[in-house]
Amino acid sequence: MDRPVSAVNAVPLPPPLYLVDASIYVFRAWHSLPDEFQDSQGWPTNAVHGFARFLLDLLERERPRHIAIAFDEALDSGFRHRLYAAYKANRDPAPEALKRQFVHCKALCAALGLVVLAHHDYEADDLIGSALHQHRHSHRGLIISADKDLSQLLLDHDEQWDYARNQRWDVAGVKARHGVHAHQIADYLALCGDAVDNIPGISGVGAKSAAVLLAHFGSMDALYERLDEVPFLRLRGAAQMAVRLREQRDHAQLWRQLTTIALDAPLEGCQPGLLRQSADPELLGGLCQTLRFGPLTRRRLFSAAGVNDPGSATAAGPDHSLPSSSEPA
For the stretch 254-298, pLDDT in tens is 999 999 999 999 998 787 889 999 999 999 999 999 999 999 999
Question: Would 308 be classed as within a structural domain?
Answer: no
Question: Would 283 be classed as within a structural domain?
Answer: no
Residue 51 shares a structural domain with residue 136? yes
Q: Which pLDDT score is estimated for 8?
A: 53
Question: Would 221 be classed as within a structural domain?
Answer: yes
Residue 204 shares a structural domain with residue 86? no
3-state class (DSSP) for residue 85? coil
Residue 155 shares a structural domain with residue 227? no
Distance CA 24, CA 21 (A): 7
pLDDT in tens, 172-198: 999 999 999 999 999 999 999 999 999
Residue 89 shares a structural domain with residue 191? no
Tally Cβ neighbours within 10 Å of residue 24. 20
Domain span holding position 235: 182-259
Q: Which pLDDT score is estimated for 329?
A: 32
Question: Would 303 be classed as within a structural domain?
Answer: no
Residue 110 shares a structural domain with residue 201? no
Question: Would 93 be classed as within a structural domain?
Answer: yes
Residue 63 shares a structural domain with residue 201? no
Question: Would 61 be classed as within a structural domain?
Answer: yes
* pLDDT band at residue 313 under the 50/70/90 scheme: low
Residue 84 DSSP one-character state: -
> Is residue 34 over pLDDT 60?
yes
Check: CB of residue 294 under 8 Å from CB of residue 320: yes
pTM for this entry: 0.91
Mean pLDDT over 131-157 rounds to 97
Minimal CA–CA distance to 270: which of 111, 98, 67, 71?
A: 67
pLDDT in tens, 226-235: 999 999 999 9
Q: Which pLDDT score is estimated for 7?
A: 55
Residue 189 sits in a domain whose CATH number is 1.10.150.20
Question: Where among 215, 234, 259 does a domain terminate?
Answer: 259
* pLDDT band at residue 311 under the 50/70/90 scheme: confident
Mean pLDDT over 153-173 rounds to 97
> Is residue 320 over pLDDT 70?
no
| Phi and psi at residue 19, to the nearest 5° | -125, 110
Residue 174 shares a structural domain with residue 101? yes
CA dihedral of 156, 183, 88, 210, whole degrees rounded to 10: -140
Average pLDDT, the chain: 91
Question: Where among 259, 286, 312 does a domain terminate?
Answer: 259
Q: How many domains does the chain have?
A: 2
Residue 89 shares a structural domain with residue 231? no
pLDDT in tens, 48-98: 999 999 999 999 999 999 999 999 987 778 999 999 999 999 988 889 999
Distance CA 261, CA 197 (A): 13
Q: Which pLDDT score is estimated for 241?
A: 97
Residue 191 shares a structural domain with residue 69? no
Residue 45 shares a structural domain with residue 170? yes
* pLDDT band at residue 322 under the 50/70/90 scheme: low
Residue 187 shares a structural domain with residue 169? no
Residue 70 sits in a domain whose CATH number is 3.40.50.1010
Distance CA 219, CA 186 (A): 10
Question: Would 127 be classed as within a structural domain?
Answer: yes
Question: Where among 248, 274, 300 does a domain terminate?
Answer: 274
Question: Would 325 be classed as within a structural domain?
Answer: no
> Is residue 1 over pLDDT 70?
no
Mean pLDDT over 305-318 rounds to 71
Judged by average pLDDT, the poorest of 31-45, 205-219, 302-316 is: 302-316
> Is residue 303 over pLDDT 70?
yes
Residue 159 shares a structural domain with residue 215? no
